[in-house]
């Protein structure tokens, strides 16, 4: 074929070859050096019993029987738990603060501005340490906890809450929930269809509420209460029963959310300001209110500007969650790249697995956001 | 150090493994050629290895390096100190970033047999202990069911603690920190009921609390922690140099030779063993590839084992440890080294 194509292919081929040669050289050299030092390699250690305690885990972990492989899963689950919650909270706060800045309300706008400047300009690590040591560690001792209705307790050990446990009515409750969600989907669709056909709105909320109350109430009466609640009680050194969130988790969640929300708020503000002023004026001219203008005209057009940089903020949240180790939250870096590495000494394998994990999560988030971006991107009508 | 930077450093050490060629033999020659020793220390543990007010590294572990430098160069200051956290320490030694690692490292089978390193000398016999607030009124470790324990990551501590509580059918919850200071702060704030770690480390942290007397280290020792100086595996000649640079300090204490009287002893002694130790007779230096007076230089510049202990950790210091197991065997301790014959 044409020479340009051949040339480009051969250059790419050569680059690929050089890259593979580099990777091969470094891997072989590492293997050789490790053999010379008598270091054992491989992933065999993943099946060994870990034997150490992990302070907090969103999946089950037992220190006497769980393996290093399980420790990796615990680390991954803990990292994903805190990152995904932080992404949701940061997005909500960021959206609100970003929009508030543009409302014609001077004190509110200034307040938002101050928050943004503070959160954006102080290093995240310091903020985490601040939340952990200055705010959460200053809470009272567990014997004098702050309590709400004698069932939720807040103290230096974290927050202790009642927790539902499985009971006879649990399964029926889940079925009732599923049915009422199906009903909601049906109601929304019907309302849209009716609106498109006749221009009349059709009520969604009231029928949905009635269906849900009927279904869940019915399930409760027939099959018994949906859950047995267990309440935290102070026993010995600590609270027992119910569920618990450690201060490490809360500090990391608050720190990550507030830090990233400030950046998201700026993205939202920038996105909205980038929409042509004429659009706003036109919307107001046809009689939409300020809020309707924002919701129906400005934000949909701003989204296509906001979404691509939002992706990097989400990636940052996941990567920044590795600062967890500073405040003793057992994320993947703390339990796997930290404790497991020390117990087993398999530096290369463990660092490679950890890097692979962050890479995978980042690529998945990017893929999802790219898909979402294509959905909200401006569709030009021809 | 920033933690992200630390993570990067972990990645960087992996790269060093991939890039560098392992120094398998001839560490002593390398050190002589370089003109100074590369000594891997902690990030600052008072009494063991920490920079003093003038920025000079001092401490009990630092003395192990100073002894080696004195033996090789006759100068205890020909050292470059490389501060390592507990995660990076072994990789740093394996990849040749440091020549020896006296960093309160417990000598264990896994480390000895699977990490490509050897332990040249045990310089401190420690054990894991538990510190509690005196006002809790606890006296025995067996009363600790359900406690929250603050401890440090990346050590044998986490495993020992779990083993101890399992063996005694007790439950506990751990809060694991990366730095010694953070453990102390969390313990002060009441995040945990007790603090666990090597008893020597607990003594250091206790000395840093606002009111040390309000805290007690329980008598129970839940593990054996022989803290040892590590060197790379496969360079036995270098291991010998490190081992005997330490041993000579203990032997000097046995013979009553101190930093202050070493010159006088050297001039007046008639004991052949002492003469050989200090190098005025025999060929020990040549066997080890060191100058003939290496033993004299170690004692002259660093002192004997007891002096180093008292100067850095002993009763006169803020840490206030007594010799305990680390007393000479002849004084009821277990500090017993082979003879220089």
Q: Which of B14, B110, B234 sits opposite A348 (nearest CB)?
A: B14
- Per-domain residue ranges of chain A: 3-39, 47-133+253-376
Give the burial string for A287-305 (b: 16+ CB within 10 Å, else e).
ebeeeebbeebbbebbbbb
The structure's pTM equals: 0.80
Lowest mean pLDDT among B20-29, B77-86, B169-178, B182-191: B20-29
CB atoms within 10 A of CB A159: 22
Question: Is the distance from CB of B48 to CB of B59 less than 8 angstroms?
Answer: yes
pLDDT higher than threshold 60 for residue B64? yes
Q: What is the CA radius of gyration of chain B?
A: 21
Q: Token match 């021809």: residue?
A: A382
Q: Which of A33, A345, A352 sits opposite B22 (nearest CB)?
A: A33
pLDDT higher than threshold 80 for residue B40? yes
Q: Token match 């004190």: residue?
A: A107
Q: Over the stretch B259-270, which tens digit does the pLDDT of each residue have? A: 999 999 999 999
CA distance B245 to B299: 10
pLDDT higher than threshold 50 for residue B235? yes
Predicted local confidence at residue A64, as pLDDT: 85
Give Cα separations from B217 to B71, B128, B133, B188 (angstroms): 37, 10, 9, 15
Residue A379: which residues within 8 A CB-CB, separation 6 or more?
none
Dihedral sign, Cα of residue B76, residue B78, residue B82, residue B86: negative
CA distance B61 to B204: 14
Predicted local confidence at residue B22, as pLDDT: 47
Residues composing chain A: 382
Average pLDDT over all residues of chain A: 89
Q: Band of the pLDDT at B155, cuts 50, 70, 90?
A: low
Residue B260 φ/ψ, nearest 5 degrees: -75, -40
In angstroms, the separation between the Cα of residue B8 and the nearest Cα of chain A is 10
Do B3-126+226-331 and B128-223 share a fold? yes
In angstroms, the separation between the Cα of residue A149 and the nearest Cα of chain B is 24
Q: Which of A157, A339, A351 sits opposite B158 (nearest CB)?
A: A339
The tokens describing B196, both together, are 């666990």
Give Cα separations from B83 to A128, A149, B201, B220 (angstroms): 25, 51, 17, 32
Predicted local confidence at residue A125, as pLDDT: 94
Dihedral sign, Cα of residue B101, residue B110, residue B182, residue B323: negative
Residue B112: which residues within 8 A CB-CB, separation 6 or more?
B118, B119
More confident residue, B225 or A199: B225
A19-34 average pLDDT score: 88
B101-112 average pLDDT score: 91
CB atoms within 10 A of CB A173: 20
pLDDT higher than threshold 80 for residue B10? no
Average pLDDT over all residues of chain B: 89
Q: Which of B14, B111, B186 sits opposite A351 (nearest CB)?
A: B14
Contact at CB, A322 and B186, closer than 8 angstroms: no
Burial of A334 (0-12, 13-18, 19+ CB in 10 A): buried
Residue B140: which residues within 8 A CB-CB, separation 6 or more?
B218, B220
More confident residue, B316 or A34: B316
CB atoms within 10 A of CB A141: 11
Dihedral sign, Cα of residue A184, residue A190, residue A192, residue A194: negative
Interface-testing mutation among B2, B14, B93, B105, with chain A (most A C-beta atoms within 10 A)? B14
The CATH architecture one would assign to domain A47-133+253-376 is Orthogonal Bundle (1.10)
Q: Band of the pLDDT at A35, cuts 50, 70, 90?
A: confident
- Give the start-end residues of each E strand in A106-259: 146-148, 152-155, 158-161, 163-166, 227-230, 233-235, 238-240, 243-245
pLDDT higher than threshold 60 for residue A328? yes
Long-range contacts (CB closer than 8 Å, 24 or more residues apart) made by A318-321: A318/A79, A318/A83, A318/A358, A318/A361, A318/A362, A318/A365, A319/A358, A319/A362, A320/A124, A320/A256, A320/A259, A320/A260, A321/A79, A321/A82, A321/A83, A321/A86, A321/A252, A321/A256
Question: Is the distance from CB of B230 to CB of B105 less than 8 angstroms?
Answer: yes
Tell me the percentage of chain A whose pLDDT exceeds 70. 98
Question: Is the distance from CB of A350 to CB of A340 less than 8 angstroms?
Answer: yes
The CATH architecture one would assign to domain B128-223 is 3-Layer(aba) Sandwich (3.40)
CA distance A162 to A89: 23
A344-357 average pLDDT score: 90
In angstroms, the separation between the Cα of residue B159 and the nearest Cα of chain A is 5
Chain A residues touching residue B148 (CB < 8 angstroms): 157, 237-238
Q: Band of the pLDDT at B3, cuts 50, 70, 90?
A: very low
B14-24 average pLDDT score: 49
Question: Is the distance from CB of A187 to CB of A204 less than 8 angstroms?
Answer: yes
Contact at CB, B3 and A339, closer than 8 angstroms: no
Contact at CB, A37 and B162, closer than 8 angstroms: no
Cα B4 to chain centroid distance, Å, stands at: 27
Chain A residues touching residue B145 (CB < 8 angstroms): 236
Question: Is the distance from CB of A230 to CB of A149 less than 8 angstroms?
Answer: no
Predicted local confidence at residue A380, as pLDDT: 61
Q: Which of B87, B163, B176 sits opposite A341 (nearest CB)?
A: B87
Q: Which of A237, A337, A342 sits opposite B193 (nearest CB)?
A: A237
Contact at CB, B176 and A339, closer than 8 angstroms: yes
User: What is the DSSP annotation of B241-287?
Assistant: HHHHHHHHHHHHHHTT--TTTHHHHHHH---HHHHHHHTSSSSHHHH
Residue A354: which residues within 8 A CB-CB, separation 6 or more?
A332, A333, A336, A337
Q: Band of the pLDDT at B182, cuts 50, 70, 90?
A: confident
pLDDT higher than threshold 90 for residue B62? yes
Tell me the percentage of chain B whose pLDDT exceeds 70. 92
B136: helix, coil or strand?
helix
Chain A residues touching residue B176 (CB < 8 angstroms): 55, 328, 330, 334, 338-339
Q: Band of the pLDDT at B52, cuts 50, 70, 90?
A: very high
In angstroms, the separation between the Cα of residue A83 and the nearest Cα of chain B is 16
The tokens describing B224, both together, are 């054996």
Tell me the percentage of chain A whose pLDDT exceeds 90. 50
pLDDT higher than threshold 60 for residue B71? yes
Question: Is the distance from CB of A165 to CB of A230 less than 8 angstroms?
Answer: yes
More confident residue, A370 or B11: A370
Q: Which of B7, B115, B159 sits opposite A39 (nearest CB)?
A: B115
Q: Over the stretch B287-321, which tens digit does the pLDDT of each residue have? A: 999 999 999 999 999 999 999 999 999 999 988 89
Contact at CB, A238 and B155, closer than 8 angstroms: no
Q: Over the stretch A197-255, which tens digit does the pLDDT of each residue have? A: 887 767 788 888 898 888 888 888 888 777 788 888 888 888 888 888 999 999 999 99
Q: Over the stretch A121-179, which tens digit does the pLDDT of each residue have? A: 999 999 999 999 999 888 988 888 888 888 899 999 999 998 888 777 788 888 888 99
Does the domain at B3-126+226-331 match CATH 1.10.1200.10? Answer given as no
CA distance A132 to A126: 10
Lowest mean pLDDT among A2-6, A75-79, B233-237, B300-304: A2-6
CA distance A317 to A305: 20
Q: Which of A59, A151, A36, A169 is nearest to B22 (CA)?
A: A36
Predicted local confidence at residue B25, as pLDDT: 56
Contact at CB, B175 and A248, closer than 8 angstroms: yes
CA distance B307 to A58: 51
A-B contacts (CB, under 8 Å): 153
Lowest mean pLDDT among A106-110, A181-185, B8-12, B291-295: B8-12
Chain B residues touching residue A68 (CB < 8 angstroms): none
Chain B residues touching residue A327 (CB < 8 angstroms): 182
Interface predicted TM-score (ipTM) of this complex, two decimals? 0.76
- Per-domain residue ranges of chain B: 3-126+226-331, 128-223
Give Cα separations from B239 to A342, B89, B123, B230 (angstroms): 23, 18, 14, 9
Predicted local confidence at residue A379, as pLDDT: 66
Question: Is the distance from CB of B49 to CB of B39 less than 8 angstroms?
Answer: no
CA distance A226 to A217: 10
Interface-testing mutation among A53, A132, A157, with chain B (most B C-beta atoms within 10 A)? A53
């Amino acid at each position: 074929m044409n020479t340009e194509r051949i040339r480009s292919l051969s250059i790419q081929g050569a680059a690929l070859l050089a890259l593979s040669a580099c990777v091969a050289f470094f891997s072989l050299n590492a293997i050789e050096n490790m053999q010379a030092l008598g270091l054992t390699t491989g992933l065999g250690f993943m099946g060994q019993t870990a034997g150490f305690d992990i302070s907090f885990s969103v999946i089950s972990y037992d220190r006497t029987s769980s393996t290093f492989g399980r420790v990796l899963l615990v680390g991954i689950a803990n990292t994903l738990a805190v990152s995904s919650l932080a992404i949701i909270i940061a997005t909500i706060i960021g959206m609100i603060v970003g929009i508030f800045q543009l409302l014609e309300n001077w004190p509110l706008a200034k307040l938002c501005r101050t928050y943004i400047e503070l959160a954006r300009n102080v290093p995240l690590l310091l903020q985490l340490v601040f939340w952990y040591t200055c705010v959460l560690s200053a809470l009272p001792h567990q014997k004098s906890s702050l309590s709400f209705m004698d069932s939720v307790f807040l103290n230096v050990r974290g927050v202790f809450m009642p927790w539902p446990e499985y009971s006879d009515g649990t399964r029926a409750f889940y079925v009732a929930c599923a049915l009422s969600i199906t009903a909601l989907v049906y109601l929304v669709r019907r309302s849209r269809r009716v609106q498109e056909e006749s221009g009349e709105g059709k009520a969604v909320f009231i029928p949905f509420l009635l269906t849900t109350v009927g279904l869940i109430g019915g399930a409760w009466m027939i099959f018994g209460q949906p859950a047995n609640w267990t309440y935290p009680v102070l026993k010995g050194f600590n609270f027992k029963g119910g569920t618990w969130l450690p201060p490490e988790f809360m500090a990391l969640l608050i720190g990550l959310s507030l830090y990233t929300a400030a950046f998201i708020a700026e993205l939202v503000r920038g996105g909205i300001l980038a929409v042509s002023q004429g659009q706003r004026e036109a919307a107001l001219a046809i009689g939409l209110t300020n809020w309707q203008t924002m919701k129906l005209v400005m934000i949909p057009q701003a989204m296509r500007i906001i979404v691509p940089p939002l992706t990097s903020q989400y990636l940052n949240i996941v990567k920044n969650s590795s600062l967890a180790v500073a405040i003793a939250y057992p994320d993947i870096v703390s339990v796997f790249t930290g404790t497991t590495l020390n117990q087993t000494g398999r530096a290369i394998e463990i660092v490679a697995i950890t890097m692979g994990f962050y890479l995978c999560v980042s690529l998945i988030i990017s893929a999802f956001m790219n898909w979402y971006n294509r959905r909200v991107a401006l569709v030009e009508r021809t | 150090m920033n933690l992200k930077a630390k993570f990067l450093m972990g990645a960087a050490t992996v790269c060093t493994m991939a890039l560098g060629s392992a120094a398998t033999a001839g560490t002593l020659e390398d050190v002589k050629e370089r003109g100074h020793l590369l000594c891997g220390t902690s990030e600052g543990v008072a009494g063991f290895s920490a920079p003093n007010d003038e920025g000079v590294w001092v401490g009990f572990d630092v003395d192990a390096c100073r002894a080696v430098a004195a033996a090789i160069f006759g100068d205890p200051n020909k050292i470059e100190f490389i501060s390592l956290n507990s995660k990076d320490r072994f990789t740093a030694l394996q990849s040749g970033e440091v020549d020896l690692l006296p960093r309160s490292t417990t000598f264990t089978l896994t480390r000895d047999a699977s990490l490509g390193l050897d332990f040249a000398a045990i310089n401190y016999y420690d054990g894991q202990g538990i510190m509690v607030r005196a006002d809790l009124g606890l006296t025995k470790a067996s009363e600790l069911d359900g406690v929250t324990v603050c401890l440090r990551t990346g050590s044998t501590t986490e495993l020992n603690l779990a083993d101890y509580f399992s063996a005694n059918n007790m439950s506990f919850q751990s809060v694991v920190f990366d730095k010694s200071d953070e453990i102390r702060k969390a313990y002060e704030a009441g995040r945990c009921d007790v603090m666990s770690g090597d008893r020597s480390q607990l003594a250091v942290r206790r000395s840093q609390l606002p009111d040390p007397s309000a805290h007690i280290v329980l008598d129970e020792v839940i593990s054996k922690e022989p803290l040892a100086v590590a060197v790379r595996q496969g360079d036995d000649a270098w291991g010998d140099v490190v081992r005997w640079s330490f041993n000579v300090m203990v032997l000097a204490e046995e013979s009553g030779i101190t930093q202050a009287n070493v010159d006088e002893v050297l001039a007046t002694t008639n004991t052949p063993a002492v003469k050989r130790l200090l190098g005025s007779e025999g060929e020990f230096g040549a066997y080890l590839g060191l100058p003939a007076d290496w033993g004299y230089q170690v004692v002259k510049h660093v002192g004997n084992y007891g002096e180093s202990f008292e100067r850095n950790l002993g009763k006169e210091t803020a840490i206030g440890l007594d010799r305990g197991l680390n007393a000479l065997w002849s004084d009821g301790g277990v500090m017993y080294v082979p003879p220089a014959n």
